[in-house]
């Protein structure tokens, strides 16, 4: 009772008939509104509100084939004071006081080769709030100890705690760079903190479908 789910446009799936809906626009919220746009999210938020005195229900859906990752800012899953750095487009919804904004990578090496760009989505949450992220394929969470390094393909990163540092490392020999299909660099994450990775990003999924359709003479881009 009294709770609400905040999500983006076209994410509504179902809800209890006694729940109410409300739309808020963050474009006039100054820096917070600008930061939300720079973080890859719309300035429009859809609120599903329970103004009754009893429990109700609601369901939301991602905008592409994916699984939903609930991440709790409870001091256990995400340590107190830590935020999340997420891939653009991963955010799906929230419960509680969650702030979706952006952070800037000032390192030229990781800006150009780290895979997340110069402007990254940042998510901060108050205690006991929950954020929902969308990711595809098999999902893996790694909890890294201080100084522990994790090498990962940039397209597989969904989110990581901001206590971690992002870096890059060469993929290997010249032949690996040229014909291995992985490019020149892998991304690296150094602990402490948690990182969530996916096996099938939307870009990879779209590319696989487009290739199969092209083999059959169907042009997806023409549609």
Name the residue with tokens 């599903």: 48
User: Do residue 41 and residue 126 come from a single domain?
Assistant: no
User: Do residue 54 and residue 158 come from a single domain?
Assistant: no
Residues 61-96: tens digit of each pLDDT: 988 888 999 999 988 889 888 999 998 888 999 999
Chain-wide mean pLDDT for the chain? Answer: 86
Is the model's pLDDT at 222 over the cut of 70? no
User: Do residue 207 and residue 137 come from a single domain?
Assistant: yes
Residues 173-205: tens digit of each pLDDT: 776 677 766 777 888 999 899 999 999 888 888
In a domain, 104, yes or no: yes
User: Which of 61, 90, 107 is the endpoint of a domain?
Assistant: 61
Cα within 13 Å of Cα(86), Cβ side: 28
User: Which of 61, 87, 102 is the endpoint of a domain?
Assistant: 61
In a domain, 172, yes or no: yes
Q: Where are the strands (E) in the chain, listed by range?
A: 4-7, 12-15, 20-25, 44-49, 58-60, 67-73, 84-86, 91-95, 98-104, 119-125, 129-135, 139-144, 149-152, 157-161, 165-170, 185-190, 193-198
Is the model's pLDDT at 150 over the cut of 90? yes
Question: What is the percent of the chain where pLDDT is above 90?
Answer: 42
User: Which of 21, 45, 61 is the endpoint of a domain?
Assistant: 61
In a domain, 223, yes or no: no
Model pLDDT, residue 156: 92
pTM confidence score? 0.84
**Span between the terminal Cα atoms of the chain, in Å:** 44
Q: Which domain holds residue 21?
A: 1-61
DSSP 155: G
Is the model's pLDDT at 223 over the cut of 60? no
Name the residue with tokens 């969650």: 98
> From CA 159, how far away is CA 177, in angstroms rounded?
26
- CATH number, domain containing residue 95: 3.60.160.10
In a domain, 43, yes or no: yes
User: Do residue 79 and residue 29 come from a single domain?
Assistant: no
DSSP 147: T
User: Do residue 75 and residue 57 come from a single domain?
Assistant: no
Q: Domains in the chain: how many in total?
A: 2
User: Do residue 89 and residue 194 come from a single domain?
Assistant: yes
User: Do residue 116 and residue 94 come from a single domain?
Assistant: yes
CB neighbourhood size of 117 (10 A): 16
In a domain, 222, yes or no: no
User: Do residue 12 and residue 66 come from a single domain?
Assistant: no
User: Do residue 137 and residue 203 come from a single domain?
Assistant: yes
Question: What is the percent of the chain where pLDDT is above 70?
Answer: 95
User: Do residue 16 and residue 109 come from a single domain?
Assistant: no
Which range, of 15-24, 128-137, 197-206, averages the lowest pLDDT? 197-206
């Amino acid at each position: 009772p009294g709770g609400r789910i905040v999500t983006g446009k076209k994410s509504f799936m179902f809800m209890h008939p006694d729940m109410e809906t409300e739309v808020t626009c963050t474009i006039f919220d100054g820096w917070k509104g600008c930061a939300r746009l720079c973080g890859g999210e719309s300035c429009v938020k859809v609120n599903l509100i329970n103004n009754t005195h009893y429990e109700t229900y609601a369901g939301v859906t991602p905008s592409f084939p994916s699984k939903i990752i609930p991440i709790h800012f409870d001091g256990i899953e995400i340590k107190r004071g830590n935020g999340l750095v997420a891939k653009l487009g991963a955010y799906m919804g929230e419960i509680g006081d969650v702030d979706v904004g952006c952070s800037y990578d000032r390192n030229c090496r990781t800006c150009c080769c780290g895979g997340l760009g110069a402007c990254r989505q940042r998510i901060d949450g108050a205690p006991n709030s929950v954020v929902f992220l969308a990711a595809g394929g098999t999902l893996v969470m790694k909890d890294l100890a201080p100084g522990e390094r994790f090498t990962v393909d940039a397209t597989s990163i969904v989110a990581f705690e901001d206590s971690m540092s992002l870096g890059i490392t060469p993929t290997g020999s010249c032949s690996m760079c040229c014909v291995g299909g992985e490019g020149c660099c892998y991304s690296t994450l150094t602990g402490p903190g948690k990182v969530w990775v996916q096996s099938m990003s939307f870009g990879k999924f779209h590319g696989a479908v487009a290739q199969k359709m092209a083999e059959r003479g169907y042009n997806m881009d023409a549609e």
